[in-house]
Amino acid sequence: MPGITLGDTVPNLEVETTHGKIKLHDYFKNGWTIIFSHPADFTPVCTTELGKMAAFQLEFEKRGAKLLAFSCDNVQSHNKWIKDIEAYTPGCKVTYPIVADPKREILKQLNMVDPDAKDSSGNELPNRALHIVGSDNKIKLSLVYPATTGRNMDEVLRALDALQKVSKYKVATPVNWKPDDPVVISPAVTNEEAKEMFPQGFETKKLPSGLEYLRFTHV
Catalytic residue numbers read 46
Residue among 52, 63, 61, 128 nearest 94 (CA): 52
State how far the Cα of 206 lies from the Cα of 190, in Å rounded to an integer. 16
CA distance 161 to 163: 6
Q: How far apart are CA 126 and CA 135, in angstroms?
A: 25
Determine contact, residues 99/79, Cβ cutoff 8 Å.
no
107 vs 110: CA distance, rounded Å = 5
